[in-house]
Amino acid sequence: MEKIKVTVSVITKNEERHIAKCLESVGWADEVVIVDGFSTDKTSEIARSMGANVIEHKFSGSFADERNVGNERAKNDWVLHIDADDIVTEDFRDKLQTILARGSDEVIYKFRRRNFFLGHSMDYGGFHHYIPNLVNRKYVKYKGDVHEVPVFEGEMGVIDADINHYPFDSVDQFIQRQSRYAGIAAKRMLETDGVLSERQIRKGMIGRTFKVFWKSYVKKQGYKDGVYGLAFGMLFAMINFLKWAKYWELVKKDE
């Protein structure tokens, strides 16, 4: 199969369990760039053995920086940004190839990401959603810390296909990873919002956490995924609580 003229950029840090399957799913790409946060396992070794260009880049506290490094080091204009726990489907590959072959006026494309929880496809709760991560690097720059977003001028297109996402292998792994992300978000919140009142902190801890759960489990029908939907909805809401709890901890330390 002829290589598709696109660069796949993958952010990694100790992802030896996932990286091989991820790279196997993008073997059709003209180039693969790994932006690695100095992994201490075999992530880089596996990636290099599969032909990827591994760039070691110390994590700055912003995932947007990692995405932008991928853009800067890509040799192709079109860059598909994914994570090490993503699997790109053949349907996505075929539709991407069709779009690039015919040419496009769009500078960015969004596509669906299907999340899996303990092997179960999360079809409700907002966890089968669009992300805008196929970009023309000449027109796009990422901004943000944990939830980075592409900033661009131009039109956005849609690829009607999925990329499968396996964000964690266990509940413990989810808690550990999200605790780290919540810490990053809490520090950024303190930098941007300063010291908030205890009333505002309680509202964030309780009110906003409940709203996150209500939105995913009730409004977006996460209950249709059964116990999986309940557990994932609670864990997803916990991210908000952790962020506010860690923010409160930082405020107390500064007093």
| Assigned token pair, 156 | 């956005």
pLDDT of residue 50: 96
Among 99, 134, 165, give the residue marking a domain's end.
165
Q: What is the pLDDT of residues 129-144, one digit of tens each?
A: 999 999 999 999 999 8
Alpha helix (H) residue ranges in the chain = 19-24, 43-49, 63-73, 90-102, 171-193, 198-202, 209-213, 226-254
Q: Are 53 and 33 in contact (CB under 8 A)?
A: yes
Q: Are 210 and 147 in contact (CB under 8 A)?
A: no
| The Cα angle at residue 54 between residues 53 and 55, in degrees rounded to 5 | 115
Three-state SS for 215? helix
Among 165, 180, 201, give the residue marking a domain's end.
165
Question: In angstroms, rounded to a whole number, what is the distance separating the alpha carbons of residues 28 and 93?
Answer: 8
Q: What is the pLDDT of residues 176-211, one digit of tens each?
A: 888 988 998 899 899 889 999 999 999 999 999 999
- Kindly report the pTM of this predicted structure: 0.87
134 and 215 belong to one structural domain: no
- pLDDT tens over the chain, length 255 residues: 678 899 999 999 999 999 999 999 999 999 999 999 999 999 999 999 999 999 999 888 788 999 999 999 999 999 999 999 999 999 999 999 999 988 888 999 999 999 999 989 999 999 899 999 999 999 999 998 777 899 998 999 999 999 999 988 889 988 988 898 899 889 989 988 999 999 999 999 999 999 999 999 999 999 999 999 999 999 999 999 999 999 999 998 876
| Assigned token pair, 157 | 């297109």
pLDDT of residue 124: 93
List, in sequence order, every residue forming a beta bridge with 32; answer none if it has no partner: 8
Total domains, the chain? 2
Q: Are 33 and 57 in contact (CB under 8 A)?
A: no
Question: In angstroms, rounded to a whole number, what is the distance separating the alpha carbons of residues 88 and 100?
Answer: 17
Three-state SS for 21? helix
Among 165, 193, 221, give the residue marking a domain's end.
165
In the chain, how long is the greatest CA-to-CA distance?
62
116 and 188 belong to one structural domain: no
146 and 220 belong to one structural domain: no
